[in-house]
Amino acid sequence: MIVSRTGLRYYKGMKKSTKSSITLPPKELALVQELQQRLKAKSKVEVIRRGLMGLKEKTDRDFLKEAYATAARSVRESVADELHDLEHLIQEGLKDK
């Protein structure tokens, strides 16, 4: 990251004076402006960036949650099978006493 004399931060490869533009339908633009005020964001671009990061975090969380659930189901099934296979050994110990 590069900090310029004006205090703005740029990542290597970013051009300093480039403007980007996305045309949004009126309802979506109103939503971005509303969020900009609520979040006290300096620009509409900041609102969009925050939204993208939130979406990324949510999808990553959902992916991890599903992967954990799948792994937990797999372990539960294998543990149940192992306990079933070892059940006769537990019963053998009880008969001797």
| 45 in any annotated domain | yes
| 10 in any annotated domain | no
| 83 in any annotated domain | yes
Contact criterion met (CB below 8 Å) for 41 and 50: yes
What's the confidence (pLDDT) of residue 74?
Answer: 87
Beta-bridged to residue 43, according to DSSP, are none
Domain span at 62: 24-96
Angle made by CA atoms 40, 36, 52, in degrees to the nearest 5: 110
- How many domains is the chain built from? 1
CA dist., res. 13 & res. 73, Å (int): 45
| 30 in any annotated domain | yes
Q: Model-level pTM? A: 0.51
| 9 in any annotated domain | no
DSSP 8-state code for residue 39: H
| 8 in any annotated domain | no
pLDDT tens, residue by residue, 40-71? 999 999 999 999 999 998 899 999 999 999 99
